[in-house]
Amino acid sequence: MTFLPEDERLMRRALELAARGPAGANPRVGAVIADPHGRILGEGWHHGAGTPHAEPTAIADAARRGEDLRGARMLVTLEPCNHTGRTGPCSEAVVEAGLGSLVYAAPDRTPQARGGAEALRHAGLEVTAGLLEAESERLNRRWSLRMSEGRPFVTAKLATSLDYAMAAADGSSQWITSEESRRHAQSLRRRVDAILVGTGTVLADNPRLTAREDDGDDAVRQPLRVAVGLREVPAGAAIRGEDGRFRHVRTRDPREALRVLAAEGAEHVMLEGGPQLLGAFLDAGLVDETWHYLAPMLIPGGRAASARTAAASLSDADRMVLESVERIGPDVLLRSQTLDSPDRGGPASPAPPAQDPTAHEK
């Protein structure tokens, strides 16, 4: 295992780029291409499902700069994939670019994607592994856990007052957060494969759960609209729609709901509400990240955003890693990932290094 003097600096830059990508069904990956003197020729990161991966993005960036990549060195935070999904194999893109060597931090352990390093070696590239592997693994710890469990990645979206109320005592909740926050949340709806609500929320609020573009039109790609629970969904409920994208998962067990959705091909699901559904997923340790929109108001006696089993002491609290803080109109969006805990499927993980809170938005 041989690394050049500049490799650690360049890999840390690749990790910074990776952290800009969204958590979700795909790992966060960053890539940097450099000449033998350590001068950066191109860089990129994965912007989310369906978009080019970090490696071809860095190659395209170098092409825009007019750089010659023949014999150059790429540093990437995850082993390049070797399969065709929504995009082509990154291993092929690296070979076609004429790069001479590649260093990656962590191996890709997913059966359908691994093998990129071997393919690159067969093509004549010098490939070295393991530089800052722990940092890369920590960045994608929730993705790795989701892959090992064979379930979708779960994002819980909350919209509350400062005192954590999602509705007033009479149930009114339109609108706690601003129009800007509601429009911003559509970016998450457009990205996920399924949006989940409890049947109680369906009966109380009659939500549509469609994904919309910034101009208010329905997005071309619509997620599954899923009602979870044992109560019947009325024939005329808005969630049913007319496009065949409605599912009623008749269970109160969050793990069973995720098994059903995984069988449907869902890799990333969003919890929209209500408090019973969110509480059940949190109690089961099945929430991987939260998008929490906080509005600058207080609602005395308001309804809590989740119905949880009470924590006996502070040691029973769910610890989170704050990923970013963003001002959305008059509101604030906190994006956090949950830490693994010994009683919920894995060892406790240390928090990653502090990052620029606006990095995800660059």
Is the four-CA dihedral 253, 258, 260, 261 of positive or negative sign? positive
Going by the DSSP 8-state scheme, the letter that residue 239 receives in this structure is G
Pick the range with the lowest mean pLDDT from 48-57, 108-117, 162-171, 221-230.
Answer: 108-117
pLDDT at 41: 97
101 pLDDT tier (thresholds 50, 70, 90)? very high
Element (H, E) at 56: helix 54-65
Is residue 138 predicted with pLDDT exceeding 70? Answer: yes
Fold type of domain 151-361 = Dihydrofolate Reductase, subunit A (3.40.430)
* Per-residue pLDDT tens over the stretch 169-180: 887 777 889 999
In this prediction the pTM is 0.74
Q: If we measure between CA atoms, which residue out of 101, 47, 48, 56 comes closest to residue 75?
A: 101
85 pLDDT tier (thresholds 50, 70, 90)? low
Instruction: Reply yes or no on domain 7-139 having CATH 3.30.360.10.
Output: no
Buried b / exposed e over 64-92, threshold 16 CB at 10 Å, is: eeebebeebbbbbbbbbbbbeeebebbbb
pLDDT at 302: 81
pLDDT at 345: 38
Residue whose entry in the numeric block shows the structure tokens 């005592």: 169
pLDDT at 147: 78
Q: What is the spatial distance between Cα 324 and Cα 177, in angstroms, rounded to a whole number? A: 18
Sheet with 153-161, strands from edge to edge, namely 246-249, 224-228, 194-198, 268-273, 153-161, 289-295, 331-338, 320-328
> What crossing angle do the helices spanning 7-18 and 54-65 adopt, rounded to 10°?
110
Is residue 84 predicted with pLDDT exceeding 90? Answer: no
Pick the range with the lowest mean pLDDT from 79-88, 129-138, 188-197.
Answer: 79-88
* Per-residue pLDDT tens over the stretch 210-264: 999 988 899 999 999 999 999 999 999 999 999 999 999 999 999 999 999 999 9
117 pLDDT tier (thresholds 50, 70, 90)? very high
Domain boundaries, the chain: 7-139, 151-361
Residue 81 is encoded by which pair of tokens? 């994939």
Is residue 2 predicted with pLDDT exceeding 70? Answer: yes
86 pLDDT tier (thresholds 50, 70, 90)? low
Q: How many percent of the chain have pLDDT more than 70?
A: 92
Pick the range with the lowest mean pLDDT from 138-142, 200-204, 356-360.
Answer: 356-360
Task: Please give the distance of CA 71 from its chain centroid, rounded to a whole number.
Answer: 34
142 pLDDT tier (thresholds 50, 70, 90)? confident
1 pLDDT tier (thresholds 50, 70, 90)? low
Mean local confidence (pLDDT), 48-53: 84
pLDDT at 51: 86
Active site residue 137: no
pLDDT at 258: 96
Check 16, 43, 55, 272 and give the catalytic one. 55
Mean local confidence (pLDDT), 70-87: 88
Residue 359 is encoded by which pair of tokens? 């990095």
